[in-house]
Structure 1
Amino acid sequence: MIRCEKLKLPLSSPGAFYNTCFVTSQTPSCAQCLLRKALRSCHGRKRAVRGQQRFPPSSRHHVYDSRGCVVTAAGRRRLGPPRSARHRQQRDLISTVKMELDIQCEEMSPSRWAELLTTMKSCKSIRLDDCNLSSSNCEDLSSIINTNPSLTELKLNNNELGDAGVEYLCKGLLTPSCSLQKLWLQNCNLTSASCETLRSVLSAQPTLTELHVGDNKLGTAGVKVLCQGIMNPSCKLQKLQLEYCELTADIVEALNAALQSKPTLKELSLSNNTLGDTAVKQLCRGLVEASCNLELLHLENCGITSDSCMEISAVLRNKSSLMDLSVGDNKIGDSGLALLCQGMMHPSCKIQKLWLWDCDLTSASCKDLSRLISTKETLTEISLIDNNLRDSGMEMLCQALKDPKSKLQELWVRECGLTTACCKAVSSAVSTNKHLKVLHIGENKLGDAGVELLCEGLMHPNCNIQSLWLGNCDLTAGCCATLATVMATKQCLTELDLSYNPLDDEGIRKICEALRKPGCNVQQLILYDILWSSEVDDELRALEESKPEVKIIS
């Protein structure tokens, strides 16, 4: 990372503030833009995010992590803009060929908007996240929705549309020619007043299958109105995202009624609403009803404790449709985790993704987790970020990964109190488990010695790791030669994150040398908050020119 030419500051300077903002746009190019967009995106509201610079707090709402990347707990990440403008032009050309318009973080001038309106008339998918749009733009978009029958996806997150803007959009959505299937209106300054209009759309537009309205002040009263629309026989909604909507326990009765009357509804996200144990217990009683077919349930930061884990366990045991459960940022503790594992170990449970970040777990939970990993063949992803597992707990997990019945593909253990001492066990696990493809082990004190041990496992023919995150692991240039060997040899490795490690010029040059080799298949190299000289920066630019398929994010 070089310094911002405008402010002569590292690009991450305002990050402590900016990282708390829930934005889905790309990373701006200078510190001044970062701060400006942070102020605009958060609308003056405080977010209930704990440790925002350390881990992705939710799988479905987005947040900038400590590197400035937009992160989801499932590991998918919207990277910042490529260093080269040529890369951006190539990307835009590809999007045009696919009839997709994907623009983020751009101020819309009248001439630019007029130009885009012409393009939008033939697009199948439109994304205009964080483009400073207002209700006046929505009148034009309503016309596009009405006249473009090919349009099936519309994303307008992080724009000040307001209730008036949504009213314009809904006029287009209610026309017979509308074919829209997916609508994103996250963080658009909506209130409960928008819910009546959206209810009309839900009741009358059977093509709409996804509605994302999180991070808006809809309130319990507003979402109750939405539920009325969902219960209409014409509604075919499959996904409903209601994170950060200021919901309370009173919403559960309406949600249960909607879930039981609408078997098409497969995904429900209620994260970051103050529900509490009593409401979650009531919700679980509705989820076990035969008419409910929910496959995904997100309850992150909902005030859950071990007190409601018995009811959640019953859902896991009795609802084979449920495959994705996220209860991160709740004080479940070891006792609550034990109850959840009882439900997941039941033969009828088909859980695939389990997110338990920041749940006050300790190494005591790892015995139950190890049994789950080694015997539950449906389980493919688990996040244990920001739990105090320590080396002893990690060693138990690694032993489970070596079991032939383990089918785990993604393991997130960032900031779990790990040290060099567990790296031999991790190395053995990655050399044994052919299914493991994603390992996020950053923000642990592994050190050069630990990564050297890890690389031994990565070099094994059985290892199929594709994405490796080693950010903030106390690494230096001393381990870069070994990492470079892995990069140049293991063609399965396509993503490597070394952010927040003092690699300096020497280490970066070793990594770049590996990127130049024909055997290297790394496509994304993440180097946030690493300082290097202008000479090395020139080398990075030259490398990007020679290998345009490689994105170096810094």
Structure 2
Amino acid sequence: MLNLQAIKIAEEGAKAVAKALETNKILTSFVLMSNNIGEGGTKAIAKSLEINKTLTSLNLWSNNIGAEGAKAVAKALEINKTLTSLYMSENDIGEEGIKAVAKALENNKTLTSLDLSWNNIGQEGAKIIAQTLETNKTLNLLHLAENDIGKEGAKAIAKALENNKTLTLLDLTSNNIGEEGVKAIAKTLETNITLTSLNLWSNNIGEKGAKAVAKALEPQKTLTSLDMASNNIREEGAKAVAKALKTNKNLTSLDLSWNNIGEEGAKAVAKALETNKTLISLNLSFNSIGDEGAMEVAKALETNKTLTSLDLWSNFYDPSNNSIGEGTKIDISSFLRRNLEETQIQKDGAKISV
């Protein structure tokens, strides 16, 4: 791997590197992130991709490539037969750039991982990429974080997932999809059999959105990782998720941090942990669960033998007298350590953050 991250090579430096890539027969992974190579530098790199036969991973994160740079990369993708991972986040490629990339994906048969986060593609851009997902047979990982796709963009993605049989990871972090958008995603989850990781962090889905996701989790057979942090799901949303955890047999990682679930929400989750046999990692940080909520979690861990990582950081009602007690911390940590030992994972790997 060659890492040239943030060394200010700019356009001219990128052109020199591109010339070398045309003849290079060894390099497989190349990181060019944060170099401000711009449209011109990107076009040179893209041209080299049409010739290069060894590169499998390219990181162009934060390079101000714009729509024209994205078009050049897209053209290369129609020809290149070796690249499997492409990172183009924070490049302001916009709707025009996404059109070109989406069209290239219709013909490209090798790319499996694509990061288009922070690119201002909006709901129309999401609709364009969704159309591609309906027919693309190779993409496994798709990152669309911070693109303001909204509820309509989420609906388009959800519809595409009804037909897509290859995508395993979908990152929709901070896209303002709201309750309506997440309900569409949740409905698709009930029947989707390939998605294993879903990130819904900071989408303002609320209690009703959380209930829709929870309902989908009950029959869901493939999802193993779910991030619902910072969604204001509150107590009722947490209770719905807890109910799903009692029957779900696949989820191993769950993030419910920054959701104001409170003591009662924590108690519901704790109750679910008494019977859940699959969850390994749980994040309940910044939820004001207090000592009572934490003690219920500790009690659940007396019988739960699978949870090995638990984050309870910053959980209090009144910082002056209601923080999680030291005794509770010790109890939880000892239970997690026991679980690690019983599952034959490294002895000192149990983690608790409070």
Normalising by structure 1, what TM-score?
0.59
Q: What's the CA shift for 1:393?
A: 0.9
Which residue of 446, 455, 469 maps to 2:289? 446
Change (3 A) 1:524 1:338: closer
Q: What's the CA shift for 1:205?
A: 1.7
Using the alignment, how far apart are the partners of 1:199 and 1:188 within structure 2?
16
Change (3 A) 1:181 1:204: same
- Aligned partner letter, 1:270: L
Q: What's the CA shift for 1:283?
A: 2.1
Q: Does 1:184 align with 2:31?
A: yes
Structure 2: 5+ residue stretches without partners: 341-345
Which residue of 120, 136, 148 maps to 1:274? 120
Task: Give the alignment's Cα RMSD to 1 decimal.
Answer: 2.2
- Identify the residue that residue 88 of structure 1 maps to in structure 2: none
Which residue of 291, 294, 300 maps to 2:139? 294
Structure 1: 5+ residue stretches without partners: 1-152, 495-518, 528-554
**Aligned partner of residue 23 in structure 2, secondary structure:** coil
Percent of aligned positions that are identical: 24
Using the alignment, how far apart are the partners of 2:176 and 2:154 within structure 1?
11
- Aligned partner letter, 2:187: Q
Q: What's the CA shift for 1:259?
A: 0.3
Which residue of 385, 400, 415 maps to 2:229? 385
- Alignment length (residue pairs): 345
**Aligned partner of residue 453 in structure 1, secondary structure:** helix
Using the alignment, how far apart are the partners of 2:233 and 2:265 within structure 1?
11
Q: Is the 8 A contact 1:441 1:470 kept in 2?
A: yes
Using the alignment, how far apart are the partners of 1:523 and 1:343 within structure 2?
35
- Identify the residue that residue 335 of structure 1 maps to in structure 2: 180
Using the alignment, how far apart are the partners of 1:239 and 1:432 within structure 2?
39
Using the alignment, how far apart are the partners of 1:525 and 1:365 within structure 2?
28
CA deviation map 1:175-197 (0-9, x unaligned): 34x32212122212221111122
Using the alignment, how far apart are the partners of 1:333 and 1:256 within structure 2?
25
Q: What's the CA shift for 1:489?
A: 4.3
- Aligned partner letter, 1:316: L
CA deviation map 1:453-510 (0-9, x unaligned): 11111232x332222212211277762223213323433667xxxxxxxxxxxxxxxx
Map residues 168-247 of structure 1 onto 2, 5 A cutoff: 168-176=16-24, 178-232=25-79, 234-247=80-93
Using the alignment, how far apart are the partners of 2:26 and 2:14 within structure 1?
17
- Identify the residue that residue 126 of structure 1 maps to in structure 2: none
Using the alignment, how far apart are the partners of 1:158 and 1:389 within structure 2?
38
More helix by share: 2
CA deviation map 1:308-354 (0-9, x unaligned): 333211211000101111112112111111112222222x5411111
Q: What's the CA shift for 1:428?
A: 1.7
Q: Is the 8 A contact 2:308 2:351 kept in 1?
A: no
Which residue of 79, 87, 103 maps to 1:257? 103
Larger radius of gyration: 1
Using the alignment, how far apart are the partners of 1:373 and 1:264 within structure 2?
31
Using the alignment, how far apart are the partners of 2:339 and 2:348 within structure 1?
6
Using the alignment, how far apart are the partners of 1:175 and 1:492 within structure 2?
54
- Identify the residue that residue 171 of structure 2 maps to in structure 1: 326
Q: Is the 8 A contact 2:290 2:323 kept in 1?
A: no
Which residue of 242, 245, 252 maps to 1:401? 245
Change (3 A) 1:200 1:235: farther
Normalising by structure 2, what TM-score?
0.90
- Aligned partner letter, 1:173: L
- Identify the residue that residue 34 of structure 1 maps to in structure 2: none
Using the alignment, how far apart are the partners of 1:473 and 1:173 within structure 2?
51
**Aligned partner of residue 382 in structure 1, secondary structure:** strand
Which residue of 448, 460, 463 maps to 2:305? 463
Change (3 A) 1:359 1:240: same
Q: Does 1:374 align with 2:218?
A: yes
Q: What's the CA shift for 1:173?
A: 2.6
- Aligned partner letter, 2:217: I
Change (3 A) 1:433 1:157: farther
Q: What's the CA shift for 1:160?
A: 2.1
Q: What's the CA shift for 1:262?
A: 0.7
Change (3 A) 1:526 1:414: closer
Q: Is the 8 A contact 1:366 1:393 kept in 2?
A: yes
- Identify the residue that residue 521 of structure 1 maps to in structure 2: 348
CA deviation map 1:530-551 (0-9, x unaligned): xxxxxxxxxxxxxxxxxxxxxx
Q: What's the CA shift for 1:288?
A: 1.2
Q: What's the CA shift for 1:434?
A: 1.8
Q: Is the 8 A contact 2:310 2:351 kept in 1?
A: no
